[in-house]
Amino acid sequence: MKKLSKLVDFSFVNELCSDLYHNSENGQKAYQPEFLFKILFLSFLYNISDREIEEQINFNLLFKWFSGLAVDERAPDHSTLTVFRERLGRERFERIFNQIVQLTAEHGLTDPKLRIIDSTHTQTNVDLNRLSKEFKQKLEK
C-alpha cells in the first residue's frame, strides 16, 4: 500500500469530478473526490463492502494513512460512499477506476488486463417451457 501511495497520484480524480461539486460557504464541506475514491479503491482491492471499509478505515492505521485521515479522524459513513458512487455514475466511475488501474499497471502493481465492468445481477421473466431442449440442457449443467 505504501508503494501504491508513492507511485500513483490520485489527485486527477478531483479534476475529473469538479463539475459535480460547487463551492459554497453554506453547509458542511464536502469530502474531496480523491479521498472518497481512495476508499472505494481499497474496498475493491480487498474485496470488502462499503460497511466493512468504513470499519477497516476506523481501526486499520494503514488504511487510515492511505486514505489521508489523521489517527483521530473517523471514516466517512458507508452511505457517503454509496451517494458518491451514484453521483459519479457508472461511466465516470469506470473511467476513473480504469485510469487508476492503468496507472498501477504502468508501475507493475496490477495486471494491465484488469478492468471493471458492470456485472449487475438481473432476473428476467423467461418462459422455460419455450426454450429449446439443447439450451435447457446447457442451463441445467
Is the predicted pLDDT of residue 73 greater than 70, yes or no? Answer: yes
Provide the pLDDT for residue 122. 47
Q: What's the predicted TM-score (pTM) here? A: 0.72
Q: Average pLDDT over the chain, rounded to whole?
A: 82
| Helix, strand counts (H, E) of the chain | 7, 0
| 3-class SS shares of the chain: helix, strand, coil, % to 5 | 60, 0, 40
Provide the pLDDT for residue 102. 87
What value does the mean pLDDT take over residues 14-28? Answer: 78
Q: Give percent of the chain with pLDDT exceeding 90.
A: 50
Provide the pLDDT for residue 88. 92
Residue closest to 68 by CA, chosen among 52, 79, 57: 57
